[in-house]
Structure 1
Amino acid sequence: MIPRALNRKGGGIVVSTRTGRLRSIGAIGALAIGALLAVPLGAVAAPEAGDSVYIGPRQGYSGTGAFPIYLDTPVDPSAPGEPDLWAFCIEHDVTARTGLEGTIGEADEFLGDNLFLDPVVQGKVLWILAHSYPAVSLADLGTAAGAPGLDANDAFEATQYAIWRYTDLGFDATWPWETPNSEAVYHYLADGAEASGGLTPADLSITLSISGPSGPQEAGTLVGPFTVTTDRPSVRVTADPAFAITDAAGTPIDADAVVDGQELYLDLRDANTSGSATVTATAEGTTVGGRIVSVPTTPGGTPSEAAHSQTIALVAPAGAVSTASAAAEWVGDAVPPVIGTTLVDAADGDQTLPWNGGTATDTIAYQHLIPGVEYTVSGELMRKSDGSATGITASATFTPTVPDGTVQVSFTVPSGYAGQQLVAFETLTQAEIAEPVAVHHDLADAAQTVTVEAAPVVSAPAQHGGAKELAATGSPLAGPATAGLLLIALGLAAVTPAVVRRRPVRR
């Protein structure tokens, strides 16, 4: 076979068959990032094909390191923390990009055009991933390969060269190894893959899921079932909050040895309040081992055959565990709804209406309603004096989004109620329930009472002209008539003596 040229960032390399040995003709920079790279052993929420993952900066020697993979984009990409998974390149001649999200897919969704399209090559690559670091520990890999004191950089390099031997070269070759340990591990992996029949993604991954109850749940019962699905011999389950986990009969189960298809229940027989809980299943391994990640050329882009960045293959670190969760909610003993009202003049907000009528607004405060359920509040104004109905009504239909809140209705009060006090009686009904769920009928409640002002008093108009009543005999004269008579009398009294004095005396 004619040797193939592989372009590599930092300089080109030419490979030959093993008999010819390989010689480096380009400068290969090395970036040592520590003797050991930390590999997480924490639980990973079970990802699936189609999920997005974040690709961190490559770690290891320049050009031959591994990619840290994060199921969630780090809040601070410059300090992303420990990765959830790792990945290696399966497309040497395509530019790698990091610091963006890629999409998990199956091997048959590979967008490239190199030898990885061959299922046989895919099986060899998966064998390499399963038998190298970080799928096995550095100590175990070093012992198996005869590379004592093996560090992560050498393990990454050997693994990457072994993968390219199948995906881009097609034959064994001598590579520009950084150390003898890197070379030893490479031969261990390449020879082992060649001798093997290859692996499938199922050999590098697990199945793990859990489903929760589909119907409504109630406090005071066994809440469930939660059903575990897995290909592991057993998994561990936990509940948060930590309720006892039982079978359908209420008998506690061994939560550390739950098997495929087992149905679980939360023991809420002593509970009487509403609540929720999450049941989590945990198993060793990953659900996406051996899957690939298709990477766009720009952040947020969609990779395609015509335009994509370097495709990478996923592997879980040794000791990694995956989790799957399901949640359930339940209702407790019903707390009856409660309503209270505040009735005011819509015009100025006080509790006094004009004597000739107006609009009264009643604000109904409610508690303990069921969000999402339709309610109707209906009100009528009653006379405070005798409790009789006025026939003045108002209503509102609403669907609360939270248990506690307020709703308003408006009463139009016509004239005719001057001087009266009116009290709002409110009734709350729930859709599809005949009886009221809450009432507030209290004639003595000042908050739901308005007073209608008294009507103004109008004086009788003065009379002008027409017949005049004569003073009764013996009654005193009054007003102008009396004054006139007095003046006449005084005048006569003054004139009479003079007349008398001028009368001639008869002789």
Structure 2
Amino acid sequence: MNKTVSSRPTRMGRAAAALLLAVAAVVPSAFAGSASAATDIAPGDAVWVGPSVGGGTHITPVYIPVPADTGNPGTADYWAYCIEHDVSLRPSTSAVIGDFSSYLGSNYFTDPAIQAKVYWIVTHAYPSVSVADLAIAAGAPGLTLNDAIEGAQYAIWRFTDLTFDASWDWASPNSEAVYWHLVNGAHANAGATPPAPADIDVSVAGPAAPGAGGTLVGPFTVSTNQATAGVASNPAYAFTDAAGDPIDPNAVVDGQQVYLDLRGVAAAGSATVTATVAGADGTGLVVSTPEVGSTTPTAASHRQSQILVAASTATTSAAASGTWAAAAVPEIGTTLTDAADEDHILAWNGGSLVDTISYSGLTAGQEYTVSGELMVKSDGSSTAITGQTTFTPTSAAGTVDVTFTVPSGYAGAALVAFETLYAGDTATGTPVAEHKDIDDVNQTVTLEEQPVMPAIGTTLLDSADQDHTLAWNGGTVIDTIAYTGLTPGIEYTVSGELMRRSDGSATGITATASFTPTSTSGSIAVRFTVPNGYAGESLVAFETLYTGSTASGTPMAEHKDIDDAAQTVAVEKQPAGTAPTVTGLASTGSALPVGLTAVAVTAVLLGAMFLIRRRKAHSEL
């Protein structure tokens, strides 16, 4: 429909229009506030038009969806101005939303150019603009809400129902100032057709599966065509990113994923996450109201049409819900092993143990401290050997190590690790979990028995009669070496030497024997040959044990006691009247070679002959 004022059945005169339209607006304080929130709205949506306020000029609250309790509808989602003066308003009823093409009236608003001017007015008037900002723009200090509404409504009617500026019955100079601000602005700035309505979108996609208490629950993905959105949850929880770091809930951007921080929440529950952006769709849409007794407005049968306005404080919101199960109860289990080879056996003289603690039900991102102590399995007593680790898990389940240093002194004992888990960076307060089972083989390590150290002892005897006395002119002595702590199947060598008991000096008489024991203890005999020349001496056997086939390297054991009677043999004194002997000729336990003996005899004879010849020559002189 594209009617002009000249084609209408009756044409208003200026004076008649002034009388008809100049009605003072009185808006109670209950309707003075702008809408604080708006729900996304589009053509075809059903709305509810609240009770109209005022007389000739009024602003009407609009609700979407239709309130469950229309007697107490609460804060309006939108507001509406009249764009069809000659048709009476039907308040407190359902209506339908449409675009400019759905307009059912027949006044000048059917003209797209008029629609553009009215659209400019409602986007620059209250409540699209606050009263304070409108007062500055219109040059109307002290502007009241009533004056703001009156000036806007008169400006709209100026274009929808008149073609001239009537002599309005102004409630105040400020309402007139608003009128001229809006009319002049519409003349100067409106185009030939109205612009496309604002498109403000926001949505929230909830998590695909339920979460768990004590964790981060999400993600909630926010999508919007606005610069930023704010998020809030009901009940209220803090928001984080996927890593558990806090985010600014008032600066969420398109596509951002946020999480509810439930790391301190143990019980099951649910929450609704709402994303909100500033502004709302809907300004410029047309509200069409049906006649009494009808649910569908038509061009032939409808009540007053209105134009929708979103308030300057309006926001657009979307929500999604998330649920979570009760937090898993924190649990720990331990596996104690030797740090060197990861088994449950530790060397007899101690070493390092590693207790690998597996945990579950922890809160990712929260700091914990695990404290352990080694206990003696046999009687449950404490060793006072402790270890401690502070860590921050990245997930509810995982492992962490605690190291213990076991000193010497626990050979043969079985040690059991007891572990206790605490929240925080110290091992204090109420434990979160513990694992203390004296019979748990996984948290038990056994120390090897202390090995018997190789040791030897000797008994030196005359081989002839098995006593501790040797003939004055020498003979053979046997040192029987008793050993303990040897390893069967390993070759050993024992090396001995006879020492003078009188001054501890070496005789140079030595002997060695190599052997491979078949058990850890036993005996081996070493034979010494004592030459003539030790009459009256006491000889003591010193013995040293080596690993291997030679008497070299680090001794495994030794027995060197100059006062040990068991390893001492006394050589008899030389009887009187016997030929003197040369002492000090050492024997290594073997007979002297025959050739060497002949040489020695020859040397003695040659020496004797030399002395005889010298004496003869001397006597001839």
TM-score (norm 2): 0.46
Contact 2:34-2:127 within 8 A present in 1 as well? no
d(CA) in 2 for partners of 1:270, 1:36: 42
The residue that corresponds to 2:582 in the other structure is none
Alignment of 1:98-247 (within 5 A): 98-169=91-162, 171-179=163-171, 180-198=173-191, 200=195, 202-203=197-198, 206-213=200-207, 215-219=208-212, 222-247=216-241
Cα distance, 1:196 vs. partner? Answer: 0.8
Provide the residue aligned with 1:55 in structure 2. Answer: 49
CA contact (8 A) 2:21 2:168 kept: no
Q: Choose from 236, 254, 263 the match for 2:248.
A: 254
C-alpha separation in 1, matches of 2:219 and 2:294: 39
* CA positional deviation for 1:6: 8.8
Residue 295 (structure 2) pairs with residue 301 (structure 1):
yes
What is residue 347 of structure 1 aligned with on the other side?
A: none
Q: Distance in 2 between matches of 1:230 and 1:296?
A: 35
Q: Which of residues 281, 284, 291 is equivalent to 2:285?
A: 291
Write the mapping of 1:89-488 to structure 2, written as runs, cut at 5 A.
89-169=82-162, 171-179=163-171, 180-198=173-191, 200=195, 202-203=197-198, 206-213=200-207, 215-219=208-212, 222-268=216-262, 273-298=267-292, 301-332=295-326
Residue identity matched to 2:295? G
Number of the residue aligned with 1:88: 81
- Whether the 8 Å CA contact 1:285–1:322 is kept in 2: the answer is yes
Task: Tell me how far 1:237 sits from its aligned partner.
Answer: 0.4
* Secondary structure at 1:310 match in 2: strand
CA–CA distance in structure 2, aligned partners of residues 59 and 6 of structure 1: 29
- 1:14 aligned to 2:12? yes
Q: Aligned residue for 1:43?
A: 37
Residues 89, 134 of structure 1: alpha-carbon distance in 2 compared, 3 angstrom cutoff: same
Identity, % of aligned pairs? 45
What is residue 539 of structure 2 aligned with on the other side? none
Q: Structure 1 stretches (4+) deviating beyond 6 angstroms?
A: none
* Alpha-carbon spacing, 1:84–1:3, altered in 2? closer, same or farther (3 Å): closer
CA root-mean-square deviation = 3.6
AA paired with 1:153? N
Q: Match of 2:255, SS?
A: coil
Structure 2 SS opposite 1:103: strand
1:94 aligned partner, one-letter code: V
Task: Pick closer, same or farther for the CA change 1:181–1:200 going to 2, 3 Å.
Answer: same
What amino acid is aligned across from residue 195 of structure 2 in structure 1? T
Matches of 2:261 and 2:197 in 1, distance apart? 35
Residue pair 1:14, 1:24 contacting (<8 A) in 2 also: no
* Secondary structure at the counterpart of residue 307 of structure 2: strand
8 Å CA contact 1:237–1:255 kept in 2: the answer is yes
**Residues 31 and 87 of structure 1: is their aligned pair in 2 closer, same or farther, counting only changes over 3 Å?**
closer
For the 8 Å contact 2:138–2:177, the answer to whether it is kept is yes
Q: Do 1:22 and 1:174's aligned partners in 2 also have CA atoms closer than 8 Å?
A: no
TM-score, structure 1 normalization = 0.55
- Report deviation, 1:38: 1.6
Change (3 A) 1:40 1:173: closer
- Aligned-partner Cα distance in 1 for 2:168–2:190: 28
Is the CA contact (8 Å cut-off) linking 1:230 and 1:259 kept in structure 2?
yes
5+ long unaligned stretches in structure 1 = 336-507
Paired residues of 1:210 and 1:326 also in contact (CA < 8 A): yes
Question: Residues 347-375 of structure 1: CA distance to partner in whole angstroms, max 9, x if unpaired?
Answer: xxxxxxxxxxxxxxxxxxxxxxxxxxxxx
Q: Is the 8 A contact 2:48 2:64 kept in 1?
A: yes
Give the structure with higher Rg (CA). Answer: 2
